[in-house]
Amino acid sequence: MNKTWLSVIGRAIDSEQGLFPLNQTWQAIHQEYNIGLTQAKKLLLTKQDKLELRELVKKITQIDLHEVSPGEFAGMQREQVLTLAINEKLAGQSVKKNRLAIKSLPGRALKLNSEHYRLPDNSHCDMALENIVNVKHQSIWIVENYRCFDQLGAINLDESAALSEPLVVFRGDHVYQADTVLSLIEKLQLPVWVMGDLDPKGMSIAQSYPNFAGLIAPDLPALEAYFNDPGKANHKLYEKQFAGCRKALSNTRIPIIQACWQLMKLHQAGIVQEHWLVGNTTLIMHAA
């Protein structure tokens, strides 16, 4: 019995009405448990039917719908749900909510909470935002794609890049949340550098970060070569993202964003950052 079924049943039990639209969820519940009576495109639930549904839910999940609403689980962690139900996956809070994937540059210490940590190659620290008290890094690097974040040691960085003493942060996906990265930026108030895809969406997101300091990318002649290479220039990315990002990028006053946007428009393409993992291209810091 999943969250949707519990919510539908819970609302029905709390309702004074007896007829409910026979939608896909109610059809599945009726077919599974044969409670209620179908009438055309409606499902009739008597008081006895509702009592049976309540007892059924309690038997299967240990949840008494007269004591707790399924909606209350939305704000709970998994261990909290277990005090009320046997299925911890009813919890609404993501397991990785408010957690970050962070690291230092290869060969350098992660300076966190007044301690220095040496991480193995191709690894990172998974940590809750609330547990980050202070850092001794001078900037934040946000890396868009996980592969580049994980394999940062395989990317050629200009020697000056290390001077920024960055805290390197994975931007986020369906596991790590981008909103948590924003909260970290606001908390630390450090210059923010972005290593991302050179496509309309990547540039639009980059310039939107508070304290945006610039991009980490190949120099402009190297970028021109990427855009001129049919094996690297991704036209589908540009076509998909152009309409949603055109206004923000056309109005930008940031020189490096303007330069990248001009290249994208000229070639009607984008470049994904995984290309930095192969070849000898060196990334430099393009100040905003």
Report whether 13 contacts 53 (CB < 8 A): yes
CA angle, corner 143, sides to 142 and 146, nearest 5?
A: 140
pLDDT tens-place string over residues 197-222: 999 999 999 999 999 999 999 999 99
Residue 74: its pLDDT value, please? 53
Topology (CATH) of 99-287: Dna Topoisomerase Vi A Subunit; Chain: A, domain 2 (3.40.1360)
Report whether 92 contacts 73 (CB < 8 A): yes
**Which residue shows structure tokens 């949603």?**
244
Q: Which residue has the higher pLDDT, 74 or 104?
A: 104
pLDDT tens-place string over residues 145-186: 999 999 999 999 998 887 889 999 999 877 788 999 999 999
Q: Where are the domains of the chain?
A: 3-90, 99-287
Distance CA 76, CA 87 (A): 12
Kindly state the helix (H) or strand (E) to which residue 99 belongs, with its residue range. strand 99-103
Residue 67: its pLDDT value, please? 62
The whole-model pTM stands at 0.69
**Which residue shows structure tokens 């056309």?**
250
The DSSP line for 218-249 is E-HHHHHHHHH-TTT-BHHHHHHHHHHHHHHH
Query: How far apart, in Å, are the Cα atoms of 263 and each of 196, 199, 238?
Result: 16, 10, 11
**Of 63-67, 111-115, 221-225, the least confident:** 63-67
pLDDT tens-place string over residues 81-140: 444 444 444 454 444 578 999 999 999 999 999 999 999 999 999 999 999 999 999 999
Q: How confident is the prediction for the chain on average, in pLDDT?
A: 87
> What average pLDDT does the segment 242-267 reach?
96
Report whether 147 contacts 195 (CB < 8 A): no
The helix/strand count (H/E) of the chain reads as: 10, 13
Residue 172 Rama label (left phi>0; alpha psi -120 to 50; beta): left
User: Phi and psi dihedrals of 206, rounded to 5?
Assistant: -55, -50
Structure tokens at 258: 């303007």
pLDDT range class, residue 76, cuts 50, 70, 90? low
Distance CA 175, CA 267 (A): 33
